[in-house]
Amino acid sequence: QQPVQSPQAVILREGEDAVINCSSSKALYSVHWYRQKHGEAPVFLMILLKGGEQKGHDKISASFNEKKQQSSLYLTASQLSYSGTYFCGTVGPNFGNEKLTFGTGTRLTIIP
């Protein structure tokens, strides 16, 4: 079953922060985050592995709570370039299952 993301869409002013959530109905091995701009392929952002991992790069970070089967993506001091649709992709529950199941998506619009 497809992971559910929230919110479905959000509009922010440049410099504001955003949180995007990804919730799965099944146990997970890892969560992947991607950003996709209109008409383009998804761009890889980061992977989080089970074990309560958190990581970040520049002003984008993420956390993974395997017990809750949830992951959150944090965008701080958003820039215009952050606009796009964000997808989480989940792998699991077992290590041997390598298929990536994409979430429902969150459309982020940053305005000046």
| Contact positions vs another protein (CB under 8 A) | 2, 29-30, 32, 34, 39-44, 47, 49, 87, 89, 91, 98-105
Beta carbon nearer to another protein, 78 or 106: 106
Task: Report in angstroms how near the CB of residue 77 gets to another protein at its nearest.
Answer: 27
**Residue 75 neighbours by CB under 8 Å, 6+ apart:** 17, 18, 19, 20, 59, 60, 82, 108
- Residue 107 CA to residue 91 CA, distance in Å, equals 22
Task: Report in angstroms how near the CB of residue 27 gets to another protein at its nearest.
Answer: 15
